[in-house]
């Protein structure tokens, strides 16, 4: 089932959300889904009812009969619940290996780039796994086998059951369902299957089946079944035990203990319960459950002889107290019912919520207990610390979401373990209320022992492990949601191994009661001593219990990551730490330094090939390749900069006779006969760089001309400096000084070393009449604004005044003018926009003031310092409805209008672009960044996050000024796509932007310098990797050019801003500064630096820049004869970058155009594209 679910906005139930879309589909872009043909399906269940465990093997024969070419297929596989795990993956006879997630993603990317077959299986989110197959050839059947571990859940009638939510989009000709039970009876339920009586084995055969409702397996444990089961897998013996709630209650009932402690709140007034309610979009379906819990809490405290008061907090990206402290039940229910569910979840807020709830203040008393209601699906992959004030005093009980809901159950259980509190299902409000009120006490496993616990050799035997660890004298393991306790272990088999343990001892407690439970470990059945499904099932169970214990007991996330990754890879499972990677050729294993499994068909050939490839030879080759790159390509790029900077350009700044723009030949200088597709255009002027949306992925950078200690000239290149607006504009355009002064007043002086503030950006489509309205408040009189509006409109259109002008109106970006000092402080600006397919928009960009020479053409004025009337950017009447609602009723009205549009147009709900455009619309209307980000985070709630989705959201967060969240997402992008150089440049840009932003208000002292040192170390490392790595695909050659320029500029800026860092930042060992540091310590001196990049693979987008001289520079005319500017090589296979560099820029207007030329993949695969603009000033 494809897991890109469509979700209602609020107060929705997700009970059937996993059944809403086809089970297996091949997705291209955002709009198109092409189901794969499945010719056969075999589903096999191997169950142990006494342990409530099951292993599901799904074997599918799939065919790509939709796309007549080699493609990558993405198969989304829904699991029974989010605790289920993929533990096996085969394609034909090839078996997958388990690798750390980052390593698997890197290898898969490289193998696809080489055109070699590769497949992966990885956890996507919650209860959904994804497998990718490449290449999936046209009309060539492939047999795919997936193995899934899951638990059998207790039912009200005393039976056990699980449902595999597997529904096929098209009828499958042959479907076979089989089930076996080690101890008990089974029944299969599926649409079209005949009714069966319970037996140890069951089978159903179906023809032309789609399995609506999936497949349900019901089991009844056999009477007298053992509490512990053991089985062999390879040279290890695994055992697992399950003690049911009834058995634990019986053991505790036979012991006489002290009375339980008094319920929370007794003796200190009415019990006071805090509610921490997640109000993110994905949590909307639990609103009714939360209301039912309130009623249950009130009833539970009433039975104890008193009432209860409440305080409600909500949190998503921010936390808010919604009621007064100690509110009544009715007040709390009213506040809970009024919650709006929107945005993503930030679990880090839980620390501050606990601290606030645990302490009394002027608003009321502290809480005596609290309940957390969340799905723990944190878009930023962050976690609370849970070590701050109140975490040791306040009991915080965790409500587990209903089974049908997508949730991070392991994360919720980790929170409960860290706080020493209880977990209970939210769907069982009475049970949870009894725990919160103290009517019932939590059951804990406090110690596990074996019959070898007193044997010193057993303590020292690393091959003998149990979970929890029998070596510990005290543990605190809570029962599972069904009230049972689970334990497991492993010991070695074979010659020289110790004898396996034969008994387990469990110590359990509840309040003041304590009891011991003895369990015998039976020997494995003789028929199962060889590896089989039962041994594999117990191995996975032990691994998952070990991972759960690691997450619950280790505080250091890095240590948990290392240990959990090793355990998951050793067991061969796909988890949050590991992915399954399937390779077929011995060269693939050798090239990526991966051990080939002994049962893999390529194992023998891999051994032979590995013997031929010594590690020292590989290291020598790598060193030679890096040396060749540095002394070849990189050194050549450094020389290119020096050549451009030093070269004299005859006729510099003089106009070129273009002969008009009426013909193709006249537009394309240099005899290229250039290509034309849909174009996005921008105008660069001699004014500040706007942070505005781009129509195509355009990255435009302006360099400040270095960071010398000496003051720069009165009008340095690429800056207005502190000169008055009248001096600049009187030289460049025919405007009266009074109006020019109103449009761009002189900036105030800043202290040395400080940077210019980031401008507040807005954009819209304005015609001449609207320009009059735009400028009227800024002119000396209203009539003056109207008088000059036609002139301003003409100047904005001057660079592109052909017959298209009436159709495509100018795009105007307005911003506060930047302030600069004569010490040449720098700043980095960022903005983002969206583009679907090759749609054309126009962008007005700030340009560069030249370093001297005559002005080739009049330059339009700077954008005014005040914000104009904002207008909607985007397409579709639904955006207009949101904007109108905002204008009349503010943010609340706009949110209601957005909800109504989603209800009336269901097609909008599942599209990420819906929420991107809505966020942009709200931002254009004037909504604050937090409200825009809430809508933006719905992209990650609606579409399962991949690296492109996370990158798009991060770009928009940067434009909103939410730098910390953007950096977290870009770090996730780097984890998901480490083999793309753009992942490294993105994180370097973002971290540099955050560092520069943080320095605006903080003093430049030793503490700030050390923070800058740590941040710059990561910026430098990322950019140095881009420059020096030899692993980038050949199609990304020359990305080293802009990366080297940015590296040199970033280090120069940091050393200028923090003098104590001088000499310590540059990566001297990798890139000796004397040879590779562009511009030396002062940094590169470029007036204009334009970077065009795009995020759609296998597409061709071209960069065109028309200079004030009239000369157009692009891929086939890549050197300007009138300015000396250059354009880098033509990237035709996706992502770019194409770069325009100009050391000395003549005054005037620069027209930047992006030409979407072609897609080299299936048209449906292109999807939508988002854009980013980085401005370095």
Quick: pLDDT tens for 100-126.
988 998 998 888 888 887 888 776 555
Is residue 825 over pLDDT 50? Answer: no
How confident is the model at residue 1131, as a pLDDT?
74
Angle, CA of 937, 942 and 944, to the nearest 5°: 95
How confident is the model at residue 413, as a pLDDT?
80
**The residue count for the chain:** 1177
How confident is the model at residue 33, as a pLDDT?
56
Which of the pair, 843 or 149, is modelled with greater confidence? 149
Is residue 920 over pLDDT 50? Answer: yes
Q: In this predicted structure, which of 163-177, 378-392, 694-708, 1062-1076 has the lowest mean pLDDT?
A: 694-708
Quick: pLDDT tens for 783-809.
333 443 344 333 333 333 333 322 222
Quick: pLDDT tens for 990-1004.
999 899 888 777 778
Percent of the chain, pLDDT > 90?
Answer: 24
Helix axes 929-942, 912-925, angle to 10 degrees: 180
Is residue 714 over pLDDT 60? Answer: no
R_g over Cα of the chain: 33
pLDDT band at 810 (very low <50, low <70, confident <90, very high): very low
Is residue 1149 over pLDDT 50? Answer: yes
The string of DSSP letters for 100-160 reads: EHHHHHHHHHHHHHTT--EEEEEEEETTEEEEEEEEE-BT--EEEEEEEEEEPEE-TTS-E
Residue with tokens 């110790």, as numbered in its chain:
498
Which of the pair, 677 or 607, is modelled with greater confidence? 607
Mean pLDDT of 203-207: 89
Mean pLDDT of 260-276: 64
- Is residue 755 within 8 Å of residue 996, measured between CB atoms? yes
CA atoms 771, 776, 779, 784: torsion sign: positive
The string of DSSP letters for 700-750 reads: EE-------SSPPPSS-TT--TT--HHHHHHHHS---HHHHHHHSPPPPP-
Classify burial at 999, counting beta carbons within 10 Å of its beta carbon; exposed 0-12, middle 13-18, buried 19 or more: buried
- C-alpha to C-alpha distance for 349 and 346, rounded to whole angstroms: 6
- The greatest distance separating any two alpha carbons of the chain, rounded to the nearest whole angstrom, comes to 102
How confident is the model at residue 993, as a pLDDT?
87
How confident is the model at residue 35, as a pLDDT?
66
Which stretches within 439-492 are classed as H helix? 456-460
Q: What would the two tokens of residue 171 be?
A: 């009828």
Q: Which of 275-279, 1115-1119, 1153-1157 has the highest mean pLDDT?
A: 275-279
pLDDT band at 922 (very low <50, low <70, confident <90, very high): very high
Residue 583 to residues 58, 119, 138, 657, 980: CA-CA distances in angstroms?
A: 20, 7, 20, 59, 21
Q: What would the two tokens of residue 763 be?
A: 């954009």
> Which SS3 state, helix, strand or coil, does residue 961 take?
coil
Is residue 971 over pLDDT 80? Answer: yes
- C-alpha to C-alpha distance for 497 and 492, rounded to whole angstroms: 6
- C-alpha to C-alpha distance for 161 and 103, rounded to whole angstroms: 37
Is residue 778 over pLDDT 80? Answer: no
pLDDT band at 1129 (very low <50, low <70, confident <90, very high): confident
Beta bridge partners of 78: 128
Is residue 23 over pLDDT 90? Answer: no
Q: For 863, list phi and psi in degrees, rounded to 5.
A: -60, 150
pLDDT band at 548 (very low <50, low <70, confident <90, very high): confident
pLDDT band at 1018 (very low <50, low <70, confident <90, very high): very high
Q: Taking the CB of residue 594, how many other CB atoms lie within 10 A of it?
A: 17
pLDDT band at 647 (very low <50, low <70, confident <90, very high): confident
- C-alpha to C-alpha distance for 653 and 1031, rounded to whole angstroms: 41
How confident is the model at residue 832, as a pLDDT?
47
How confident is the model at residue 782, as a pLDDT?
35
Q: What would the two tokens of residue 464 be?
A: 């003998």
Mean pLDDT of 1026-1055: 88
Quick: pLDDT tens for 573-608.
988 889 899 888 899 998 898 999 888 888 899 999
Is residue 1155 over pLDDT 90? Answer: no
Percent of the chain, pLDDT > 70?
Answer: 73
pLDDT band at 198 (very low <50, low <70, confident <90, very high): low
- Is residue 1177 within 8 Å of residue 719, measured between CB atoms? yes
Is residue 773 over pLDDT 80? Answer: no
814: nearest Cα among 876, 863, 872: 863
How confident is the model at residue 265, as a pLDDT?
45
How confident is the model at residue 1022, as a pLDDT?
95
Quick: pLDDT tens for 320-356.
999 999 999 999 999 999 999 988 889 999 999 999 9
How confident is the model at residue 946, as a pLDDT?
78
How confident is the model at residue 275, as a pLDDT?
95
Cis peptide upstream of residue 12 (ω within 30 degrees of 0): no
Residue 1166 to residues 105, 432, 875, 960, 1100: CA-CA distances in angstroms?
A: 21, 49, 19, 27, 11
Is residue 1026 over pLDDT 60? Answer: yes
Mean pLDDT of 768-775: 38
Output the average pLDDT for the chain: 74
- C-alpha to C-alpha distance for 412 and 314, rounded to whole angstroms: 17
Angle, CA of 313, 318 and 321, to the nearest 5°: 25
51: nearest Cα among 148, 152, 147: 152
> Which SS3 state, helix, strand or coil, does residue 164 take?
strand
CA dihedral angle for residue 788, residue 793, residue 799, residue 802, rounded to 10 degrees: -130
The string of DSSP letters for 566-589 reads: HHHHHHT---SSEEEEE--SHHHH
- C-alpha to C-alpha distance for 74 and 90, rounded to whole angstroms: 15
Quick: pLDDT tens for 748-764.
333 344 333 332 332 23
Mean pLDDT of 915-930: 89
Is residue 708 over pLDDT 80? Answer: no
Is residue 256 over pLDDT 70? Answer: no
Is residue 424 over pLDDT 90? Answer: no
Is residue 359 over pLDDT 80? Answer: yes
Residue with tokens 């960009």, as numbered in its chain:
845
Q: In this predicted structure, which of 316-330, 778-792, 1047-1061 has the lowest mean pLDDT?
A: 778-792
Residue with tokens 């290229």, as numbered in its chain:
672
Residue 80 to residues 214, 405, 545, 568, 573: CA-CA distances in angstroms?
A: 10, 11, 18, 20, 17
Is residue 40 over pLDDT 60? Answer: yes
How confident is the model at residue 917, as a pLDDT?
87
- Is residue 660 within 8 Å of residue 669, measured between CB atoms? no
**Pairing state of beta strands 369-373 and 272-278?**
parallel
Mean pLDDT of 85-96: 87
Which of the pair, 305 or 849, is modelled with greater confidence? 305
Q: What would the two tokens of residue 644 be?
A: 């451009």
How confident is the model at residue 1051, as a pLDDT?
94
In eight-state DSSP terms, residue 838 is T
Which of the pair, 596 or 1099, is modelled with greater confidence? 596
Q: What would the two tokens of residue 304 be?
A: 């104890």
How confident is the model at residue 1172, as a pLDDT?
59
622: nearest Cα among 602, 593, 585: 593
């Amino acid at each position: 089932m494809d897991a890109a679910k469509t979700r209602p906005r609020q107060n929705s139930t997700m009970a059937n959300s996993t059944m809403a879309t086809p089970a297996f589909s091949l997705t291209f872009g955002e709009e198109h889904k092409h189901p794969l043909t499945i010719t056969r399906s075999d589903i096999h269940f191997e169950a142990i009812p006494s342990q409530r465990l099951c292993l599901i093997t799904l074997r599918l024969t799939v065919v790509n009969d939709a796309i007549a070419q080699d493609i990558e297929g993405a198969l989304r596989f829904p699991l029974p619940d989010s605790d289920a795990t993929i533990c096996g993956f085969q394609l034909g006879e090839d078996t997958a290996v388990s690798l750390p997630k980052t390593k698997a993603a890197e290898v898969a990317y490289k193998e696809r780039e080489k055109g070699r077959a590769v497949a992966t299986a990885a956890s996507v989110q919650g209860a959904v796994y994804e497998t990718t197959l490449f290449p999936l050839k046209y009309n060539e059947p492939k047999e795919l086998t997936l193995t899934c571990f899951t638990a059998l859940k207790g039912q009200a009638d005393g039976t056990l059951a699980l449902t595999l939510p597997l529904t096929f989009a098209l009828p499958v000709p042959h479907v076979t369902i089989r089930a076996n039970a080690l101890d008990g009876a089974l029944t299969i339920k599926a649409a079209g299957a005949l009714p069966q009586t319970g037996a140890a084995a069951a089978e159903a055969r179906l023809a032309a089946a789609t399995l609506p409702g999936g497949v349900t397996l019901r089991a009844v444990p056999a009477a007298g079944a053992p509490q512990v089961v053991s089985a062999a897998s390879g040279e290890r013996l695994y055992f697992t035990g399950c003690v049911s709630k009834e058995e634990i209650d019986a053991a505790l009932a036979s012991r006489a203990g002290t009375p339980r402690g008094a319920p929370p709140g007794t003796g200190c007034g009415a019990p006071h319960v805090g509610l921490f309610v997640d109000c993110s979009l994905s949590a909307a379906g639990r609103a009714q459950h939360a209301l039912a819990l309130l009623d249950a809490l009130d009833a539970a405290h009433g039975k104890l002889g008193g009432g209860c008061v409440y305080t409600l907090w909500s949190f998503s990206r921010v936390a808010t107290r919604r009621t007064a402290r100690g509110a009544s039940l009715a007040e709390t229910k009213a506040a809970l019912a009024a919650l709006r569910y929107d945005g993503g979840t930030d679990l880090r807020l839980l620390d501050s919520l606990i601290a606030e709830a645990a302490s009394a203040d002027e608003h009321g008393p502290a809480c005596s207990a609290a309940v957390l209601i969340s799905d723990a699906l944190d878009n930023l992959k962050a976690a609370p610390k849970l070590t701050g004030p109140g975490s040791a005093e306040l009991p915080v009980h965790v409500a587990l979401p209903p089974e049908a809901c997508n949730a991070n159950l392991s994360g919720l259980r980790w929170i409960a373990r860290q706080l020493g509190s209880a977990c209970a299902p939210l769907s069982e409000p009475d049970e949870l209320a009894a725990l919160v009120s103290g009517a019932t006490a939590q059951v804990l496993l406090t110690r596990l022992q074996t019959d070898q616990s007193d044997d010193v050799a057993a303590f020292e035997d690393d091959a003998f492990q149990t979970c929890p660890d029998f070596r510990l004298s005290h543990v605190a393991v809570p029962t599972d949601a069904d009230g049972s306790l689970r334990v497991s272990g492993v010991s070695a088999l074979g010659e020289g191994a110790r004898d396996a343990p034969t008994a387990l001892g469990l110590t359990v407690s509840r309040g003041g009661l304590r009891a011991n439970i003895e369990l015998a470990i039976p020997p494995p059945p003789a028929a199962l001593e060889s590896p089989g499904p039962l041994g594999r099932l117990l191995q996975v169970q032990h691994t998952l219990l070990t991972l759960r214990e690691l997450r619950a007991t280790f505080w250091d996330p890095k240590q948990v990551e290392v240990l959990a990754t090793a355990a998951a890879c050793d067991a061969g499972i796909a988890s949050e730490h590991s992915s399954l990677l399937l390779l077929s050729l011995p060269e693939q294993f050798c090239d990526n330094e991966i051990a080939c499994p002994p049962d893999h068909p390529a194992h023998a050939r891999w051994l032979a090939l590995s013997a031929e490839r010594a590690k020292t030879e590989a290291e020598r080759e790598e060193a030679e390749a890096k040396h060749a790159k540095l002394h070849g390509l990189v050194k050549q790029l450094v020389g290119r900069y020096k050549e451009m900077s030093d070269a004299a350009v005859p006729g510099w700044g003089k106009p070129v006779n273009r002969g008009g723009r009426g013909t193709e030949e006249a537009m394309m200088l240099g005899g290229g006969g250039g290509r034309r597709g849909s174009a996005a255009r921008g105008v660069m002027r001699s004014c500040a760089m706007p942070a505005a949306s781009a129509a195509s992925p355009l990255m435009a950078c302006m360099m400040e001309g270095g960071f010398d200690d000496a003051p720069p000239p009165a009008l340095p290149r690429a800056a207005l400096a502190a000169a008055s607006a009248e001096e600049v504009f009187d030289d460049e355009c025919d405007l009266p000084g009074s109006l020019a002064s109103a449009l761009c007043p002189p900036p105030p002086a800043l202290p040395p070393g400080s940077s210019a503030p980031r401008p507040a950006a807005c954009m819209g489509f304005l015609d001449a009449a609207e320009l009059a309205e735009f400028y009227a408040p800024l002119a000396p009189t209203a009539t003056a604004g109207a008088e000059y509006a036609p002139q301003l409109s003409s100047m904005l259109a001057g660079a592109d005044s052909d017959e298209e002008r009436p159709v495509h109106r100018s795009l105007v970006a307005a911003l506060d003018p930047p302030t600069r000092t004569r010490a040449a402080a720098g700043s980095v600006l960022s903005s983002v926009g969206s583009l679907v397919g090759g749609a054309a928009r126009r962008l007005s960009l700030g340009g560069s003031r030249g370093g001297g020479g005559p002005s080739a053409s009049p330059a339009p004025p700077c954008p005014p310092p005040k914000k104009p009337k904002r207008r909607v950017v985007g397409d579709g009447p639904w955006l207009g409805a949101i904007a109108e609602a905002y204008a009349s009723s503010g943010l609340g009205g706009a949110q209601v209008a957005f909800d109504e549009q989603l209800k009336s147009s269901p097609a909008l709900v599942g599209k990420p672009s819906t929420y991107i455009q809505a966020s942009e619309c709200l931002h254009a209307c004037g909504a604050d960044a937090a409200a825009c980000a809430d809508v933006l985070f719905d992209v990650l709630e609606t579409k399962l996050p991949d690296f492109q989705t996370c990158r798009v959201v991060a770009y928009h967060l940067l434009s909103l000024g939410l730098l910390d969240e953007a950096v977290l997402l870009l770090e996730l992008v780097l984890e998901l796509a480490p083999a793309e150089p753009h992942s490294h440049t993105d994180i370097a840009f973002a971290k540099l932007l955050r560092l520069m932003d943080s320095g605006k208000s903080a003093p430049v002292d030793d503490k700030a310098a050390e923070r800058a040192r740590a941040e710059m170390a990561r910026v430098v490392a990322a950019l140095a990797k881009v420059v020096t790595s030899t692993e980038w695909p050949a199609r990304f050659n020359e990305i080293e050019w802009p990366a080297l320029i940015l590296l040199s500029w970033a280090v120069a800026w940091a050393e200028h801003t923090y003098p104590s860092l001088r000499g310590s930042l540059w990566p001297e060992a990798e890139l000796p500064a004397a040879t590779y540091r562009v511009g030396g310590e002062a940094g590169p001196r470029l007036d204009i630096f334009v970077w065009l990049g795009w995020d759609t693979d296998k597409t061709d987008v071209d960069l065109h820049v028309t200079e004030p001289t009239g000369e157009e520079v692009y891929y086939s005319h890549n050197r300007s004869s009138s300015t000396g500017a250059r354009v880098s090589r033509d990237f035709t296979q996706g992502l770019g970058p194409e770069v325009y560099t100009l050391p000395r820029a003549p005054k005037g207007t620069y027209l930047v155009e992006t030409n979407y030329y072609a897609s080299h993949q299936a048209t449906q695969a292109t999807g939508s594209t988002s854009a980013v603009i980085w401005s370095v000033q």
